[in-house]
């Protein structure tokens, strides 16, 4: 039974991350902008964006959801039309559910996110994966899409751009060409791309592009975006027979209140920051090289093209085998040095994102790693 102290805890929620250097891949692209932090309070109450709604979420003029969804997002995503979702997985499910019927095949990459498989399962689709290269790069063989598509006649082709484990960025434009030749609609999962790096759906020859507000667009979330070609409007955004202003795949209305208000408030900065992507890649590559100099090895593409990186760190694992705290020593040592984002207990491999930290801060992370190795030598 819950005690009074348990209820008190609920009423005084806290996180220990404040003013620390954040390298957690899930969080580095979703740290709120100052504008979003203001919107968070202003729009904190439930249904707060609905003050002036006339029945259609994406038609609301105050706050300007209509301009955001109708003009700004399509331009940003390089697509004809956009809509709001609860996250990348929800956009993927919407497309699966609208574009395919149970028993159909969807061709995906071997580095797909688990939520792709779950969305397919919910929609009753069979997932067929295109192979990837072996350890340590795990690069998706984009040319292999052609043969798999020819053999399995899928309702949809999909790629994870980049994947959420290694941060490999496949040649999505080439897959788009293969999809066009085969006449199969093409969906790009840009959960780790949209809001971090420049992505234009049309330039990649895609029919759909999914992004995650709380992964890469500085939104509190849960929120996401879905861009599409105009020709799919009547399929994916078809209205309900009963309520003409409500779209079936959106269950009427998707994100309301804080998720949407923070997504919109951050957008002016997010659309600018993608133009500095080359600086992010340079920083990530410098960090990867420095990590390798410390004796760690980068798993995934080399040279790396994304801030999300997976390193093998056998030196930390070896320490964990002989210290009292076991795997928790690393989390503790890093926390003491103001570094946030390594999961407690993790030592064998570290998934890191360099997106939010400056080069100077990343220098502190590298120094910390080195100090910890030396301390337990």
Ligand X SMILES: *Cc1c(COP(=O)(O)O)cnc(C)c1O
Nearest CB to ligand X, comparing residues 160 and 285: 160
CB of 363 to ligand X, least distance (A): 27
CA angle in degrees (0–180, nearest 5) for 26-31-33: 155
Nearest CB to ligand X, comparing residues 343 and 367: 343
State the Cα–Cα distance between residues 122 and 116, nearest whole angstrom: 10
What is the pairing mode between strands 308-312 and 349-353?
Answer: antiparallel
- Using CA atoms, how far residue 56 sits from 210, 246, 257, in Å, is 21, 7, 14
Which 99-128 residues touch ligand X, going by CB under 6 A? 113, 115
**What torsion, rounded to 10 degrees, do the Cα atoms 271, 272, 278, 281 define?**
-60
Nearest CB to ligand X, comparing residues 189 and 313: 189
DSSP 31: P
Neighbouring residues of 279: CB distance < 8 A, sequence distance ≥ 6: none
Build a one-symbol-per-residue string for 65-104: x at contacts with ligand X by CB under 6 A, - elsewhere.
----------------------xxx---------------
Nearest CB to ligand X, comparing residues 176 and 327: 176
Among candidate residues 306, 294, 318, the one with its CA nearest the CA of residue 352: 306
CB of 140 to ligand X, least distance (A): 12
CB of 317 to ligand X, least distance (A): 25
Contact yes or no for 123/100 (Cβ under 8 A): yes
Nearest CB to ligand X, comparing residues 222 and 327: 222
Among candidate residues 341, 352, 26, the one with its CA nearest the CA of residue 215: 26
Which 202-241 residues touch ligand X, going by CB under 6 A? 212, 215, 224
Residue 189 sits in the site that holds ligand X (CB under 6 A): yes
CB of 86 to ligand X, least distance (A): 7
CB of 322 to ligand X, least distance (A): 34
Which 274-303 residues touch ligand X, going by CB under 6 A? none
| Contacting positions for ligand X (CB under 6 A) | 87-89, 113, 115, 160, 163-164, 189, 191-192, 212, 215, 224
């Amino acid at each position: 039974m819950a005690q009074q102290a348990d209820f008190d805890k609920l009423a005084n929620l806290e996180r220990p991350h404040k003013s620390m250097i954040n390298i957690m891949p899930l969080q580095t692209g979703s740290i709120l902008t100052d504008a979003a932090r203001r919107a968070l309070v202003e729009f904190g109450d439930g249904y707060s964006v609905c003050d002036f709604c006339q029945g259609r979420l994406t038609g609301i003029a105050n706050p300007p959801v209509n301009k955001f969804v109708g003009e700004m997002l399509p331009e940003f995503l390089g697509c004809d039309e956009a809509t709001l979702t609860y996250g990348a997985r929800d956009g993927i499910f919407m497309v699966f559910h609208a574009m395919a019927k149970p028993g159909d095949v969807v061709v995906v990459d071997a580095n797909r996110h688990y939520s792709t498989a779950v969305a397919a399962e919910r929609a009753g689709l069979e997932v067929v994966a295109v192979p990837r290269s072996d350890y340590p790069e795990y690069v998706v063989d984009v040319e292999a899409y052609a043969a798999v598509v020819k053999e399995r006649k899928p309702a949809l082709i999909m790629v994870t751009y980049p994947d959420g484990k290694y941060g490999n960025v496949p040649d999505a434009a080439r897959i788009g060409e293969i999809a066009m030749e085969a006449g199969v609609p093409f969906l790009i999962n840009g959960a780790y791309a949209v809001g971090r790096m420049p992505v234009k759906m049309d330039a990649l020859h895609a029919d759909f592009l999914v992004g995650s507000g709380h992964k890469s667009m500085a939104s509190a979330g849960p929120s996401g975006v879905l861009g599409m070609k105009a020709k799919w409007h009547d399929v994916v955004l078809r209205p309900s027979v009963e309520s003409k202003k409500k779209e079936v795949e959106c269950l009427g209305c998707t994100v309301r209140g804080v998720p949407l208000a923070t997504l919109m408030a951050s957008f002016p900065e997010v659309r600018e920051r993608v133009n500095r992507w080359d600086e992010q890649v340079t920083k990530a590559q410098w960090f990867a090289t420095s990590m390798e100099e410390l004796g760690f090895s980068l798993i995934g593409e080399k040279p790396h093209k994304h801030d999300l990186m997976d390193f093998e760190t056998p030196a930390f694992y070896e320490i964990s085998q002989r210290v009292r705290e076991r795997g928790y020593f690393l989390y503790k040592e890093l926390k003491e040095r103001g570094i946030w984002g390594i999961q407690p207990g993790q030592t064998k491999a570290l998934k890191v994102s360099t997106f939010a930290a400056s080069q100077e801060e990343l220098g502190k992370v590298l120094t910390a790693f080195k100090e910890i190795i030396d301390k337990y030598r």
